Amino acid sequence: MRYVQKGPAPETITQACRDKPELDTTEKARAAFNSLDKDEVRLSLAKEQGYLCAFCERRIQTGKPGRTFGEGATQTTTHNMRIAHRTPLDEAPGSALTWENLLGSCNDSRTCDSAQHQTVITVDPTSRVSVNRVRYERRDTAPGVSEIYITSDDAAVRRDVEETLGLNGAELPRMRKVALETAKENAHRQGYGHGKPALRKYLAAQSSSKHLPHLGFLEAMSR
């Protein structure tokens, strides 16, 4: 998990808030939320998060149109993300349009926003303090085989990441291990050497607006 610095809300959010909709019930909150330009919201969230899910850090796509190939033929990218309310609508309908409460999540039915449903969580990707409570550890999964799991010494955060959000499911521990091994190999291949200093230099050199998958995890492992 990586700290997400929230920027200005997109125009569709600003306009909806300007109209001062009533958000005192879940039904009214959902109606106001459903009136938004979801493509605009998804794009703004993806850009803020470096095109990574705010929870599991897998790649997310916005689904905006791509290149045009010949008359009437277009290539489109199907979005694979959900607009997540960190504090669910059922619990806080008044925050339905609050930009700080909205995050871009993958659409994996086993993890992240889909797994959270309407459960209130403590962990908050928009808070450095909260993100710093997350840690990673190797666990043996078979004789001679280990993978990397997300956890926390804080009981509430541990419950959020391990149970509510399911961040040790869907092969995520294996993906983290592969991401770390690949980053270390690339750091060595590009002349940065070995160890945590080399990994830090390699990660610092990655300047793309689309972050490396699992970047927050990789940064944590480089410290």
Residues 18-39, mean pLDDT to the nearest whole number = 94
The domain limits of the chain are 11-66+76-221
Question: Looking at residue 142, what is its pLDDT?
Answer: 87
Q: What is the mean pLDDT of the chain?
A: 92
Side-chain-facing half-sphere of 202: CA atoms under 13 Å: 27
Residue carrying structure tokens 């045009």: 68
What residues have CB less than 8 Å from 118, skipping those under 6 apart?
Answer: 88, 89, 90, 91
pTM recorded for the entire structure:
0.91
- The size of the chain, in residues, is 223
User: In this model, does residue 93 exceed pLDDT 80?
Assistant: yes
Q: How many CB atoms neighbour CB 34 within 10 A?
A: 9
Calculate mean pLDDT across residues 19-47: 95
Predicted local confidence at residue 78, as pLDDT: 64
147 C-beta neighbours (distance < 10 Å), count: 18
- Crossing angle of helices 38-48 and 11-18, in 10° steps, is 120
Nearest to 84 by CA among 57, 114, 110: 114
79: pLDDT strictly greater than 80: no
50 pLDDT above the threshold of 50:
yes
* pLDDT on residue 157: 98
